[in-house]
Amino acid sequence: MSEGELGFYYADVVGVEQLTTHMVRVTFGGEHLARYEGIGAPDECIAVYFPRNGETSPPPMTEVDGVWWYHGIEDVPEGRNYTVRRLNSAAGELVIDFFAHDGGVAATWARQATVGQRVLLARPRSWYRVPADVQWQLLVADMTGLPALGRIIEELPAGMRAHAVVEVLERGDIQSFDTAASVTYDWRIGSGNGDCASVLDEAVRSYELPEGVGYVWFAGEAASSRVVRKYFRKDRGFDIAHFHIIGYWRARSEQWLEKYKKYQGAALALYNSVIEAGRTEQEASEEFDAMLERVGL
């Protein structure tokens, strides 16, 4: 972002489509998005802020010391993380696929999304980074990780081998992707996704890892992500450059957040101390997570 530019983007709904049984595809456009460049990563994620009750648009953010945020606003609009499923810079349009799970500010908004409505987007980030020595990839996702998984597969180079394990609610949630790479699929239908226990952990364990150097990317429920991360880190001896295993959402998040409040300060202090010691973000996240696990979170 260059100096003088706003650090957020208003995004106006220009199209809504029921993509699959539980996935709503919303296309955003408008004059702000015409200057959105993206960060060029296939799991590019952006924070989406929704209008507060009775308003048609979220308020603008302001900048303090280089940080764009709702500084000085008590009633901060609700914001949630979503993947930029597709970016069409020429048309100034950006696509987000929302999993319409039960409840939730974002899922409820997606169910009623209509052309002309406005949200605010901020802070694009990404995690998926494949080292140059990688010969195969294992891509694992539930409904929330499916948009990123689709974009990752579409952007894989010719010659890359990948295996995708995807957990969806119904057969009608299966998607297909065009790709230059060689990709095999294992669709798991009717589990996880807030409906019942996830089988992703077991599916990953039963997959026979190919020969050669691999890279693992996982996006799904936080408790599953912890189990899968431990499996690759401890049982399979992966080094941290060769996996990104991320919790995209948390089951019963209300209870979890209530308990987390008690440990938040200490956990963040630990995270920051690891970063200040010159170690990576991923190492800091590992220590952060280990501390939360120790206190039963």
CA–CA distance, 42 with 48 (Å, rounded to integer) = 17
Please report, as residue ranges, which positions from 132 to 151 form the binding site for ligand FAD (by CB under 6 A): 144, 147
**Closest approach of Cβ 237 to ligand FAD, in Å?**
26
Please report, as residue ranges, which positions from 178 to 197 form the binding site for ligand FAD (by CB under 6 A): 193-194
Question: Is residue 101 involved in binding ligand FAD (CB under 6 A)?
Answer: yes
| Cα dihedral sign, 171-173-178-183 | negative
Question: Which of these ranges, 65-73, 79-87, 200-208, 266-274, lies near ligand FAD under the rule CB under 6 A?
Answer: 79-87
Of residues 253, 264, 273, 280, which one binds ligand FAD by CB under 6 A? 253
Of residues 62, 81, 191, 282, which one binds ligand FAD by CB under 6 A? 81
- Strand 161-168 versus strand 86-88 pairing type: unpaired
Closest CA to 194 of 253, 246, 257, 259: 253
**Closest approach of Cβ 208 to ligand FAD, in Å?**
29
Indicate the residue among 62 and 191 with the shorter CB distance to ligand FAD.
Answer: 191
* Residue 11, amino acid: A
**Closest approach of Cβ 278 to ligand FAD, in Å?**
25
236-242 long-range contacts (CB < 8 A, ≥24 apart) are 236/209, 238/214, 240/280, 240/282, 240/283, 240/286, 241/129, 241/131, 242/131, 242/134, 242/213, 242/214, 242/215, 242/216
Task: Tell me the residue length of the chain.
Answer: 297
Indicate the residue among 150 and 214 with the shorter CB distance to ligand FAD.
Answer: 150
Question: Is residue 18 involved in binding ligand FAD (CB under 6 A)?
Answer: no
Strands across the sheet containing 86-88: 79-83, 45-49, 118-125, 8-20, 23-29, 93-99, 86-88
Of residues 16, 27, 41, 83, which one binds ligand FAD by CB under 6 A? 83
CB atoms within 10 A of CB 174: 14
Please report, as residue ranges, which positions from 33 to 52 form the binding site for ligand FAD (by CB under 6 A): 45
Indicate the residue among 89 and 253 with the shorter CB distance to ligand FAD.
Answer: 253
Of residues 248, 267, 285, 292, which one binds ligand FAD by CB under 6 A? 248
Question: Which of these ranges, 57-65, 78-86, 156-164, 277-285, lies near ligand FAD under the rule CB under 6 A?
Answer: 78-86
Which residues contribute to the site for ligand FAD (CB under 6 A)? Answer: 45, 80-83, 97-99, 101, 103-107, 144, 147, 193-194, 248-254
